[in-house]
Structure 1
Amino acid sequence: MALAAVTLLTAVPASATPRDPSPVAQTEAFAEPADADDPAIWVHPGDPARSIVLGTLKEGGLAAFGLDARTLQRVPAGPGGRFNNVDVVGDLAVVSDRGRDRIRVYRIDPDGPQVLRDVTDPAAAPVFSASESEVDEQRTAYGLAAGRDPRTGLRWVAVTRRHETRVALLRLVDRPGGTIGTAPLATVDLPSTFRLPGGTSWSPCEEPGERPQLEGSVLDGRVLYTAQEDVGIWRIPLSPAGFGRPELVDRVRSYGVPQRWDAAAEECVPDGADPGFGGQWLEADAEGLAVAHGKLFASSQGDSRFVVYGGGRTRDLRIVAGRGTDSVEHSDGSAISTASLGRRFPHGLLVVHDGERRPTAGDLATTGFAFVRLEDVL
């Protein structure tokens, strides 16, 4: 169900907030170089209770989990690989390899000798880079959302570029030997400078040489929602011919706030008063996006909340500790399935990245994924 009719900027706050949910299960904790980031959900066509959750682990590759959150398989990223985002289309897991600027593809088969089998075209070209030396600069494939065009059945993938504002639209292509490659369809460049009321211009503060990047993305039919971390959430219509006109449908609270880069501190610092042009709900970074039942679910990473848009109102929540599980902080990616997934998740499943999994592994920070019943959220 598309969210075309949802006007996020004018959504009405809920009069009451339901109790904040707790995870039903959580994965093992991961420590660098296996740093959890983004999940996806594959629904088993014959036995939904045997569905698979996938999670990227950056330099640690890709993991497959059962619905009890136990690890079934880990696939290494390989030399130079860094798996950033993952999504599912059909029986394929599609991954952005930010280390090599490639799209990697794995066939999902829980009945096979391995749950995940690499079917990436060995001749796959970089998504954004013109050469391997440009790949080394790491302005590479970053955020990712995959799906099918509901009108043509075309399998397509939207990919954002690290440290840039570009989004590419690719199609998945069957190659000899059962491998899967990609072919470009279109690109669009979102703004890095914004006109404010009163005629002044504003650009979000970034490290020198970088532009305000996008990552968290989700496809909803012929619409791409993608989060520009220091700006807000964009809605972009899609067709096989490419991208329609982007619309900024919600802004982070710091939108329009003057900042400057402090080289000594190596961070952005305030450089003036807040003019009040920001949104109400999102504390930068705006991150993981997911869609369910006509509602858009977004991670407000800066204050460890989640925002639910749609149904004529907007509300927020936290995922708190309970049932013997940890709370969720500073979440990156998220994924939703509305399917009935058996006894554990009869009304659907929300999986979110947990950026501060406790307890830590000695001096190393740990991360993971949390599984939440969808009815507890929506």
Structure 2
Amino acid sequence: MRRLFLPALTVVPLLLAGTPASAAPARAGADETPRAVRAAVETPSLFDDAAGGDADADDPAIWVHPTDRAGSLVVATAKNGGLRVYDLHARQRQAIPTPPAPGPDDEAGRFNNVDLVTGFRLGQRRVDLAVVTDRGRDQLRFYRIDPATRRLTDVTAPDVPYAFSRDQAEVNEQRTAYGLGAWTAPDGTAYAVVSRRSTPEVGLFRLVERAGRVSYRPVDRLTLPSRFALPDGTSWSPCTDPGDGPQVEGTVVDPATGVVHLAQEKVGLWRTRLAGGRFVGAPVAVERVREFGVPAAFDPEVDDCVTDHSADPGFGGRIAQDVEGLTIYQTGRYAGTLVVSSQGDDTFHTYDRRTGRHTGRFAVVDGPVDGSQECDGAAVVATPLPGFPGGLLVVHDGRNTPETPGGDGDARPDTNFKFLDAGFLRAGR
């Protein structure tokens, strides 16, 4: 297994030939009024408390039924609450629990991100799979989607390895499988690009069949930079919890080209490529966060990073920390739009899928249902579906309203997913 370590470097704003490394990124778009779009329906509330089973919505994936578009599904993670499966009316059809802890002092399963693999050869047939990062147990898990019953069945091999950890003790430290992007190569080989929590590491895993079940093996790994040279001659590292590195979560692989987009939450948006079962070339920066280069330090009293915005050197980009969910609205073999969640200001940025050029900004605001705030994961398809003639966009809502009071009178932690017609992405802005 080859490890690719990248030295500290100055990132550039766009993937344009000839852009000088010292160029400051354009900040246009950071302050413009975002286009307002509205969700049509929303899933039921998930409550991250004991009464709600510690269910916390995070990341969706959209499965299009091969013969009956009305039977399409949204598969979504709920962290300790496992997987939830919804129909196109946002009604829950299935709830799948996480695996139990292997021992009394070990971490139980915690499902973080989900993506889909279509046409995977399992035994004598081709099946569609939901692939999930189990960050609690540092594994990938696999669920076969049955088109007839529209239900998911666990087909994970019993001996799947740890994704990153050496042993259970290291798993319990929870630097584990986190973000996820699946891809099927032209030769039919299925891969998963998986980030490691609390580090800038990203692994590439090949999916394999094991006696009628699904497993994987690592084939490559890269590490994104943690320190950056700034145009004024100084250097900067993003603030993280003590001992942690700037992690990646949002991950998507372009199905036609193998281009990998990576959202390094406190740094910005990166782009690299897969070929021959390996990462090819050094990742290139597409966009920086607004806070890029701004001094910040961890304050133990507030248990968080405190940023000195008065000392902003002006090297930042458009996206407000954190850079989160990534998804591609594919309108042709190479045409379409990359959608990026700008979690810090409750908006989304769009980029030309092929060139990386910034094309617009939108916000999911209150309408028939409430809008989306603090969005983690997002998923989109351009396929017309019943109720969504322009395709379906599903976004996470990290602060669902109206609030639901708990037994103590305080609002319960409430998250869910919003479903929108995605046609506005085709029109662009």
TM-score normalised by L of structure 2: 0.82
Worse-superposed segment, 307-316 or 184-193: 307-316
Paired residues of 1:319 and 1:327 also in contact (CA < 8 A): yes
For residue 365 of structure 1, the aligned residue among 400, 405, 413 is 413
Paired residues of 1:185 and 1:240 also in contact (CA < 8 A): no
Does the alignment pair 1:64 with 2:90?
Answer: no
Paired residues of 2:324 and 2:377 also in contact (CA < 8 A): yes
> Where does the alignment leave 5 or more consecutive residues of structure 1 unmatched?
none
Does the alignment pair 1:180 with 2:214?
Answer: yes
CA shift, 1:19, in A, is 4.7
CA shift, 1:127, in A, is 0.2
Does the alignment pair 1:20 with 2:39?
Answer: no
| d(CA) in 2 for partners of 1:82, 1:240 | 31
Write the deviation string for residues 296-354 of structure 1: whole angstroms up to 9, x where unpaired. 1000000100111128542111101112x111101000001111213x11221100100
What are the equivalent positions in structure 2 for 1:190-269 lying under 5 Å apart?
190-220=224-254, 221-244=257-280, 245-269=282-306
For residue 203 of structure 2, the aligned residue among 152, 168, 172 is 168
CA shift, 1:361, in A, is 3.0
SS in 1 for 2:70: helix
| d(CA) in 2 for partners of 1:235, 1:136 | 31
Paired residues of 1:84 and 1:96 also in contact (CA < 8 A): yes
Paired residues of 1:11 and 1:314 also in contact (CA < 8 A): no
Tell me the residue number matched to 1:44.
Answer: 65
CA shift, 1:123, in A, is 0.2
For residue 336 of structure 1, the aligned residue among 359, 369, 380 is 380
| d(CA) in 2 for partners of 1:122, 1:59 | 20
Tell me the residue number matched to 2:183.
Answer: 147
What are the equivalent positions in structure 2 for 1:317-336 lying under 5 Å apart?
317-323=362-368, 325-336=369-380
Does the alignment pair 1:89 with 2:117?
Answer: yes
Q: What is the identity, as a one-letter code, of the residue corresponding to 2:371?
A: S
Tell me the residue number matched to 2:311.
Answer: 273
SS in 2 for 1:49: helix
Quick one: structure 1 residues 13 and 163, their matched pair in 2 at CA, closer, same or farther if it must change by over 3 Å? closer
The percent identity for this pair of structures is 47
Paired residues of 2:81 and 2:98 also in contact (CA < 8 A): yes
Tell me the residue number matched to 1:131.
Answer: 167
| d(CA) in 2 for partners of 1:214, 1:313 | 21
CA shift, 1:358, in A, is 1.0
Paired residues of 2:15 and 2:286 also in contact (CA < 8 A): no
| d(CA) in 2 for partners of 1:12, 1:283 | 13
Q: What is the identity, as a one-letter code, of the residue corresponding to 2:325?
A: G
> Where does the alignment leave 5 or more consecutive residues of structure 2 unmatched?
1-13, 20-24, 49-53, 101-107, 119-127, 406-410
Count of residue pairs the alignment pairs up: 370
Quick one: structure 1 residues 267 and 10, their matched pair in 2 at CA, closer, same or farther if it must change by over 3 Å? closer
SS in 2 for 1:208: coil
Q: What is the identity, as a one-letter code, of the residue corresponding to 1:37?
A: D
For residue 111 of structure 1, the aligned residue among 125, 138, 148 is 148
Does the alignment pair 1:120 with 2:162?
Answer: no
Q: What is the identity, as a one-letter code, of the residue corresponding to 2:240?
A: E
Quick one: structure 1 residues 19 and 161, their matched pair in 2 at CA, closer, same or farther if it must change by over 3 Å? closer
Paired residues of 2:219 and 2:277 also in contact (CA < 8 A): yes
Q: What is the identity, as a one-letter code, of the residue corresponding to 1:199?
A: G
| d(CA) in 2 for partners of 1:18, 1:231 | 22
| d(CA) in 1 for partners of 2:192, 2:26 | 30
Q: What is the identity, as a one-letter code, of the residue corresponding to 1:254?
A: E
Paired residues of 1:11 and 1:310 also in contact (CA < 8 A): no
CA shift, 1:201, in A, is 1.1
| d(CA) in 2 for partners of 1:306, 1:136 | 34
The CA RMSD measured in Å over matched residues stands at: 2.3
Q: What is the identity, as a one-letter code, of the residue corresponding to 1:303?
A: D
Q: What is the identity, as a one-letter code, of the residue corresponding to 2:43?
A: T
CA shift, 1:234, in A, is 0.6
TM-score normalised by L of structure 1: 0.93
SS in 1 for 2:400: strand
SS in 1 for 2:169: helix
